[in-house]
Chain A
Amino acid sequence: MATMLILGAASDIARATALAFANDGWDLILAGRQPEILDKIATDIALRSGRRVKTAHFDALRSEEHAVFWQGAEEEVSALFCAVGLLGDQEKAQADMDQATAILQTNFTGLLPILSLAANTFEKRGRGLIIAISSVAGDRGRASNYFYGSAKAGLTAFLSGLRNRLAKKGVDVITVKPGFVATAMTADMALPIKLTATPKQVATDIVKAARKKHDVIYSRWFWRYIMLIVDHIPEKIFKKLKL
């Protein structure tokens, strides 16, 4: 069976999605920076799904290591799922460029080498699947999280271009834009219950998108319409809103 490489696999959304893909028949390589947690997750998913699950060390911020990392995985991997992300501290980032850089690298620039390596391999092979988690926050910048938002906007645009390039080459590229999700990342935020998804719901949406070869999905689906409205608020009004 085909193997999927999952980057940033220790996040709540990644863990739920990894299990959903394993239940859908994929073998997995879980990659990330925390080997202990990855091992626990790998054991858990292997026991639940009966699929083969391995772990690997991957750090988005060490782009210089990506080529060697990809060489090691390339042969057996037929799909890449990137769930790396960092919400960061907006207020801190406004004054501290290290924080700002960390947000931009983790959500955007740091991911470009590995995404490009996978894209090139899959293009040559004439088949492959790339899925990456962006965010509704990338659709329009807001005062409360525009470092995160602009990084995700960059990722969204990158994925859109990648899809455009690879569409004729048999490679599918899926952009996932989750809205509010109850995870460790948002544990300290008061989220509106009715708009907040569980990681499992997002996972179900992603696996469905992979099966149906969708291009851009919102999760939950209603965020497409919320963002449609948000995108169409005139800037004159938008700039005065507390968002």
Chain B
Amino acid sequence: MKLTSWGKYPLIETTLASPANEALALAALEGGGALIGRGLGRSYGDSALNDHLVLSSLRLNFIESFDEESGVLVAGAGVSLAEILDAFVPRGWFLPVTPGTKFVSLGGAVASDVHGKDHHVAATFSRHVEWLDLWTPATGLIRCSDTENSDIFHATAGAHGLTGFILRVALRLQKIPSAFIKQKMVKTGNLDAIMDTFERYAGLPFTVAWIDCLQSGKGLGRSIFMGGSFAEKEELPARYRLRPYQPPSPKALAVPFDFPSFALNSFSVKAFNAFYYGKAPKELKKSIVSYNSFFYPLDSIHNWNRIYGRRGFTQYQFVLPKETSVFGLADILKTIAESGQGSFLAVLKLFGKQPVFDGNISFPMRGYTLALDFPITKKLFPLLDRLDAMVLECGGRHYLTKDARMSGEVLRRGYGPALGDFLAIKKRLDPEGRFVSLQARRLGLV
């Protein structure tokens, strides 16, 4: 069958198997041959694709236990974050870390070691994983955690399925006072201003900024900053106070077909950006919003990836160390603005400290991360190659979850010695190199 991921690029011919239970999954794993695990297919590029066998976790979708005291939830790797929210928000629990979409599986969240608007206080997803059940060729089914088989645990978080197949995850949820966010919105005119704003609001648990990548000169880096924290019951408008865990459900929209490729061009993106920027108030604006509109604004438009047309798009996300961020970001934003290859959405975030473990290749580090969408065109890849070089020069690196085109050299220079440590553990767990994605092959990891 034909299979692709969220960026709709690349599109490949492969076999997708969805074992209905753990025994069938183990049988498929023990069967031999090359394979890669997959959840909801929300990685953008080719990290969950393989032309031999793609093994889906989606039918391993049982919630198995929940401890009301500790908040630890045990569930199959195919359970989605959306399902967890549906079940536990009404009872006052929330995810400890969430990416910008809730349509990812637990297994996928670990494999990408996803981060969210709270990275500066909570680090990545795996820091809240109590333990996971993993199958590797060398060990078979094995439970690992920060304290038990910790080398395997750390190598698996953020490894995009290359150490083995994740079957089950125990995740610590966090208690929340309501399902609403107290949101602060600040419009900032340039890069310095947005960086100051991130520092000023570092005390808020959730921070992020939307950045207009088509601005150059004086307005370079103009942004809308959004910060937030969960609202206390007393802070809610009267109509929500009696049911603080039941926010209005978001209206679902869908993009019914692939837009023609010409629909997105620098004019339409400029117009969108002007509209979006124009919509935000200049000074500080405070409001109470539901968790869905704060964390998952795009989830209410199903298949939003279709606006990029059949050719698809790629997302480009990198992080720069804090020390080089000021100049590095300015240079990179200038290069993008000059190229005219506008990004529909660009998201800026200041990461906090990311714990370092041997063999761990989770993406974040302390510094600024920028995520941009680009429709796939002929001119795009040369531009991204130039950006790669600029990112590396600043000591930065790239997020594999978003990647469909980077070179192995860029990866090696970005991740440095950590990558070698990771590959040593991968070799030990998977000596024959059975777990392989198209991405891993392209990057020379197998």
Contact = CB atoms under 8 A, between A and B. Distances in A.
B311 interface: no
Contacts of A44: 62-64
Contacts of A187: 18
B243 to A, nearest CB: 15
Residue from the set B18, B20, B62 with the largest chain A CB neighbour count within 10 Å: B62
B20 A50 contact: no
Most buried by B among A41, A43, A44, A184: A44
B65 interface: yes
A184 B61 CA distance: 14
Nearest to B91: A50
Interface in A5-57: 37, 40-41, 43-44, 47-50
A50 B89 CA distance: 12
Nearest to B87: A48
Nearest to B61: A44
Interface residues of B, number: 13
Contacts of B21: 37
B83 interface: yes
Interface in A111-151: none
Interface in B329-364: none
A47 B66 contact: yes
Contacts of A47: 63-66, 87
A195 to B, nearest CB: 15
B432 interface: no
A41 B59 CA distance: 12
Interface string B76-93: 000000010011001100
A182 B248 CA distance: 30
Given A50-B91, A184-B20, A43 B83 contact: no
Interface string A46-71: 01111000000000000000000000
A50 B90 CA distance: 10
B86 A48 contact: yes
A40 B64 CA distance: 7
Interface in B156-180: none
Interface in A72-117: none
Contacts of B91: 50
B65 A48 contact: no
A146 B199 CA distance: 69
Contacts of A37: 21
A48 B64 contact: no
A187 B24 CA distance: 15
Contact of A41 (B18, B20, B62, B66): B62
What does DSSP make chain A's interface, helix, strand, loop or mixed?
helix
Contacts of B90: 50
B73 to A, nearest CB: 8
A126 to B, nearest CB: 34
A150 to B, nearest CB: 29
B28 to A, nearest CB: 14
A37 B90 CA distance: 27
Interface string B215-259: 000000000000000000000000000000000000000000000
Contacts of A43: 62-65
A187 B62 CA distance: 19
A49 B20 CA distance: 22
A48 B86 CA distance: 8
Contacts of B65: 43, 47
A184 B63 CA distance: 19
A105 B407 CA distance: 60
A103 B64 CA distance: 34
B83 A48 contact: yes
Contacts of B66: 47
Contact of A40 (B62, B86, B87): B62
A42 to B, nearest CB: 10
Interface string A166-199: 0000000000000000001001000000000000
B249 to A, nearest CB: 12
A49 B87 contact: yes
A44 B73 CA distance: 11
Scoring A37, A48, A50 by chain B CB atoms within 10 A of each residue's CB, the highest score goes to A48
Interface in B258-276: none
Interface in B1-58: 18, 20-21
A40 B20 CA distance: 13
A33 to B, nearest CB: 16
B182 to A, nearest CB: 27
B394 to A, nearest CB: 44
Interface string A208-242: 00000000000000000000000000000000000
Interface centre among B18, B21, B66, B87 (most CB of A within 10 A): B87
A48 B76 CA distance: 13
A49 B66 CA distance: 12
A37 B83 CA distance: 20
Nearest to B66: A47
Contacts of A49: 87
Contacts of B20: 184
A11 B64 CA distance: 18
Contacts of A50: 90-91
B132 to A, nearest CB: 19
A51 B320 CA distance: 48
Contacts of B18: 187
A217 to B, nearest CB: 21
A44 B62 CA distance: 6
Interface in B180-215: none
A155 to B, nearest CB: 26
Contacts of A184: 20
Contacts of B64: 40, 43-44, 47
23 contacts: A37-B21, A40-B64, A43-B62, A43-B63, A43-B64, A43-B65, A44-B62, A44-B63, A44-B64, A47-B63, A47-B64, A47-B65, A47-B66, A47-B87, A48-B63, A48-B83, A48-B86, A48-B87, A49-B87, A50-B90, A50-B91, A184-B20, A187-B18
Interface of A: 37, 40-41, 43-44, 47-50, 184, 187
**Closest CB pairs A-B (n = 7):** A48-B87, A44-B62, A47-B63, A44-B63, A40-B62, A47-B66, A48-B63
